Amino acid sequence: MKKKNVFVVGCNGKMGRIVRSLISESDDMDTTAGFDQHQGGVIASYCSENLRNNPNAVFYNTDVIVDFSRPEATMEILPYAVKYRIPMVIATTGFTKEQELELKSAASLIPIFKSSNMALSTKRFISLVKSAAKLFPEPYEIAIHEDHHSGKADAPSGTAKMLFDAVNEGRNGTLVYRFDSSGKKAENEVWVSSGRLGSFRGDHIVTIAGESDYVQLKHSISDRALFAEGALDAARFIMQQTEPRIYTMDDLFNE
């Protein structure tokens, strides 16, 4: 079986290195090259100038792009993915509204798999939280807290936002998202808080509280490889898709 060629965005970062390591151990993929703002990785890593000067050499044999980087790097690679019709897996978070519109536009031309969290267990946790929001209707109130390592750039995390979307769906879209803790909380608000400390890989706690009791649901990840494994599963999936659109974990697990 011929191996598929993977271009890794963020190839020299923590997640990029794990992705490359898992690819090297796989039977069906090879890392062809990558892009990172920080050069010096052990694979061929192209800077912006090299991409502009000779993109054919970089992308000609690329089967899929896996992106664990920052929004500015994603947006630099996106036009090449569109030009060469290469499907993408995007695990990067923190996009602006304008950047989200650019991603949506690109997805009208190529298949894009996009998720703020690539772990299957997180997907299951989010489904559980959605069900809990239904099981504990008003007057029960809901709050979300997440902890990540101190180097994480965006807050709240993309997963925290996904959790809010889940509880909001569970409450029929009646809730309002709020990321601060000043003033008095409105009845329909869900406060989302963040901690940035230590080496947390990702802790998320959803609290559902009534006047006399409360329920807490918690999900913790101790190994970043879980995200990388999910991203490679997504890469295998997205290479089989022919319809240009944005795909999610729901598509991958047929839910």
Domains in the chain: how many in total?
2
Residues 76, 13 share a domain? yes
Q: Are residues 235 and 110 in the same domain?
A: yes
Q: Which of 41, 50, 32 is nearest to 13 (CA)?
A: 41
pLDDT of residue 255: 47
Residue in this structure with the two tokens 């490889």, named with its chain if needed: 225
Alpha-carbon 55 to chain mean position: 26
Do 138 and 199 share a domain, yes or no?
A: yes
CATH number of domain containing 168? 3.30.360.10
The verdict on 186 and 104 lying in the same domain is no
Residue 13 sits in the same domain as residue 56: yes
Distance CA 168, CA 142 (A): 10
**pTM score over 0.85:** no
Known active-site residue 148 = yes
Q: Amino acid identity of 109?
A: L
Structure confidence at residue 134 (pLDDT): 96
Query: What's the chain's Rg over C-alpha atoms?
Result: 19
Looking at residue 82, its pLDDT comes to 97
What pLDDT score was predicted for residue 58? 81
Q: Which amino acid is at 240?
A: Q
Q: What pLDDT, on the 0 to 100 scale, is given for residue 66? A: 97
Are 179 and 100 in the same domain? no
Q: In terms of domains, do 135 and 149 share one? A: yes
CATH number for 31: 3.40.50.720
Q: What is the C-alpha separation between 33 and 96, in angstroms, rounded?
A: 27
| Cβ atoms within 10 Å, residue 166 | 21
Distances, alpha carbon 252 to alpha carbons 85, 95, 115, 183, 246, in Å: 21, 22, 11, 41, 12
Low-confidence residues of the chain, pLDDT below 70? Answer: 37-50, 255
Is the domain of 175 the same as that of 238?
Answer: no
Q: Do both 241 and 211 map to the same domain?
A: no
Helices 225-238, 14-25: inter-axial angle, 10-degree rounding: 60
Assess whether 215 and 241 both reside in one domain: no
d(CA 50, CA 166): 42
Shared domain for 11 and 113, answered yes or no, is: yes
- Please give the pLDDT value at position 248: 93
Nearest Cα residue to 6 out of 22, 126, 140: 22
State the Cα–Cα distance between residues 140 and 238, nearest whole angstrom. Answer: 39
Give me the catalytic one of 130, 148, 161, 204. Answer: 148
For residues 114 and 229, membership in a common domain is answered with yes
The predicted pLDDT at position 199 comes to: 75
pLDDT digits (tens, 9 = 90+) for 185-198: 888 999 999 998 87
pLDDT on residue 226:
87
pLDDT of residue 191: 93
38 catalytically annotated: no
Which residue range forms the structural domain that includes residue 244? Answer: 4-118+225-252
Task: Tell me the sheet residues that pair with 203.
Answer: 147, 220
